[in-house]
Structures are given as C-alpha cells and as structure tokens.
Amino acid sequence: MDLTTGRWIGQIQEQAFICYSCLSSRSDDMLLETLLPLGKVDPGLRAPETPLDLHSIAADARLLEEIGYDGLVVEETKDDPFILMSLAAQATLTLKLGTSVAIAFPRSPTVTAMSAWTLQKLSRGRFTLGLGTQVKAHIERRFGMPWTPAGPWMREYVSAVRAVWDCWQNGTPLDFRGPHYNINLMVPLFNPGPIQHPDIPIHVAAVNPLMCQVAGEVAEGVRPHPVCTPSYIEKVMLPAVRAGAIKAGRSLDRFQVCMKPLVATAANEAELVPKVSDARARIAFYASTPQYRAAFDHLGLGDLADRLKLLSRAQRWEEMPQHINDDVLHTFVTIATYDTIGRKLCDRYGGVVTNCEFSIAVKNDADRERLRQLASDIQSQSVALARNTILGIAA
C-alpha cells in the first residue's frame, strides 16, 4: 500500500483511542504517571541524584499500583525501555505502562512493532508506545545513521508500524511503501499473529509545531518536553495538533497531552534550596539547546537562549545557571514543598494536560502515605477544561 493511502490506518487509530480510554475508570480526571526511580527529575548535564536500580523495578511498580497511580513510564537514556517495561508488566495487573519515550529512528519500524506487540501481550492491553526522534547529532554520531527531516520521517515511521500490526492482527498483505521504508515481506515463521488487545496507542514527543502536527495526524497523544510551558502548549502546540487532525480527518475527543513538568519540591524549605538550584541549572541547559529554542522565543527569551548557547559551546557550564533569574525560573518550574506541590501542579497544568508525570522518593512509611495523598490531590483535578483546550473550544 502507498504511504498516502490506507483508510485502515485511521480506523485502527480511532480504535486505539477507544481502547486506551476504556483502561481508565476516571476518564474525567487527571491521570497520574511517573518515571523511575521515584522522585526522579531530569538532571540536565548533571548525574542523577539516584540512579535507576533494575532490581527494584518490579517492587516499585507494585507500590505504584497499590497507591493508585494510573501509569508508569520509562525513558530511553541508559537502559532499554522495552526491557524495563517487561519487568513492570510482569509484576502488575492494572498499572498502565508506556515508553516516554523510545527513540524511533535507530530501530526498524518492524523491530519497534514487535517490541510493542510483545509488551501488549505481556501486559494484557496496558501498553502505550511513546516515540521520540532524538536530534540530528545523536542520530548521526551516536547511532551512526543518516538524518532526514524528522517530521515527515516520524509520520512515515508511525504509519509503517501500524501497517505491520495490521498484517499481524488482520492478515492484511504487508506492502508499505514510503521514502524511508519499503516493507513487504512477512512469512509465517516471523508473524506473531493476532493478540487480544491489538489497538496499541502511540504517543509522539514534540516541541516544535511540525511534530505536533504529525502527532495530530497519526498519534493518540503528544508528550511535550518539560520546557514547554502551559502557554506554549495552548498557543503553539495544540493549534498544530488540531491542524494535523483536520488534515487527516481525525477526532481529538480522546487525544492525550502527557506532561513531564519541571518540578522542585522537598519536605521543607531548607531541603528545597538545593532542588531549586538544580532546577535553575536545568533551565539554563535547556535554553542553550537549539531544539528547544521555540519554547523560549514564545516567551520573548530568545536573547537569553543566544547567550546560553554561546556559554554551552565554550563548555562554561557552571556559569550558565546565574543567567536564569527568578522570573524565568518560576515561569518554567513548579516550586513548592510537599504540602502544596500537588495543588500547584494542578493549578499550572490543569487547563492543558490530561496526564501528569510526578512522584517523590519513598524511603519509609511516612513517605508512602505522603505520596498517596499527593496522588489523590493530583488525580482529583478535572480534565474537562483541558479537553476543551485540546479541541480549541473557548472557556
């Protein structure tokens, strides 16, 4: 089948919307997810405070399920995300699982299709495939692959993955043709066949409008980068998502916006001080990165991004955080002690996101109960306003 045709793709996507929403009994409330280790924040260029312990993933996943979390997601940095998700899937029954995100382009669409298919079988329908592009330098110099523009590539990639799934589930002859991929061979030995929950949602990581449009065309959700403010999501990203959906003739009624906020939080004000310092360094690092420039330009901070890019190129890392004043810091980072952080996250993101990614470290029973309360606070947030924002309906 040609890349520009294929009515079945839209049908499968709509079925995935329905399947994913049915997994939640709280479709009108904020869905709460987390990365591991619990309490993880993005360290930017710094080493993480607590490294991921592969041997604790099953226990942590069970803890999240017992507390009442909606989902557990993993990112692809130092470990294979599909293996991590397998450990969590085997240990849980109801917790949703997803990659946030797996890097698409170094993998053949058929390889990614197989990994997701296997996880969907293992988890009995709880898996969401989150895909990201990475940047040109990493694709070329870390993965050793040629680079082409990411938007068209991702659009084709997702369509190719769905074509493979359609072949396995429905016996549709595999004949996918596009600029990057020609996939037309599937023999019985390598065909896993139908599964009970074939409609696997796909989310796409995005910052810039073009990738947001692609998400609207081919995906069930978008995962904004942490540097994306609520204003940027509402005024830049979601209009592009809607344009993509209109182009593809798709509904956004069940579309998800899954946010990993920049957070600085601690039990008390004294413990909060170093967290705020780390957050300031992360913002400086993000501002220096050209791929995130649009989020800073949106706020009139292009000059700041230029200054920090020069310092980054000179590897003057320790000088960069001092360029982030308190106004910029609070624009990007939600800062509060544990007693108010849940409410502040809801106040900031409740009008634009459906899924929030957050947790705190659990070292004792008191921490466990504190996390339980924080989870309840965030999950009590209605997403009705966010749904209207996604659809472009004025409040």
What is the chain's mean pLDDT, rounded? 93
pLDDT at 271 over 60: yes
User: CATH fold of 7-268+353-391, please?
Assistant: TIM Barrel (3.20.20)
User: Domain residue spans in the chain?
Assistant: 7-268+353-391
Q: Which of 125, 83, 117, 290 is nearest to 193 (CA)?
A: 117
pLDDT at 50: 78
Q: What is the DSSP letter of 75?
A: -
% of the chain residues with pLDDT over 70: 91
Rounded Cα distance, 387 and 27, in Å: 11
Q: What is the pLDDT of residue 373?
A: 97
| Mean pLDDT within 338-344 | 97
Instruction: Give Rg (Cα) of the chain.
Output: 20
At 110-143, the pLDDT tens digits run 999 999 999 999 999 999 999 999 999 999 999 9
Q: Rounded CA gap, 354 and 365, in Å?
A: 29
What are the pLDDT digits (tens) for 237-257?
A: 999 999 999 999 999 999 999
Give the per-residue pLDDT at 139: 97
Copy the structure tokens of residue 183: 């996939």
The string of pLDDT tens digits covering residues 358-374 is 999 999 999 999 999 99
pLDDT of residue 346: 98
pLDDT of residue 19: 43
288 and 309 Cβ atoms separated by less than 8 Å:
yes
Half-sphere exposure of 274 (CA within 13 A, CB side): 5
Nearest of 351, 308, 300 to residue 327 by alpha carbon = 300
Residues 6 or more apart whose CB falls under 8 angstroms from that of 329 comprise 276, 279, 280, 283, 335
Query: DSSP 3-state helix, strand, coil percentages of the chain (rounded to 5)?
Result: 50, 15, 35
- Phi, psi dihedrals of residue 64, rounded to the nearest 5°: -60, -40
Beta bridge partners of 270: none
Question: In the structure, what pLDDT confidence band is assigned to residue 40 with cuts at 50, 70 and 90?
Answer: confident
What is the model's pLDDT at position 8?
Answer: 42
pTM: 0.92
DSSP code at position 382: B
**Lowest-pLDDT range, 16-20, 124-128, 221-225, 269-273?**
16-20
Per-residue DSSP letters for 219-250?
-SEEEE-TT--HHHIIIIIHHHHHHHHHHHT-
Mean pLDDT (whole number) for 28-33: 96
Categorize the per-residue pLDDT at 5 as very low, low, confident or very high, splitting at 50, 70 and 90.
very low
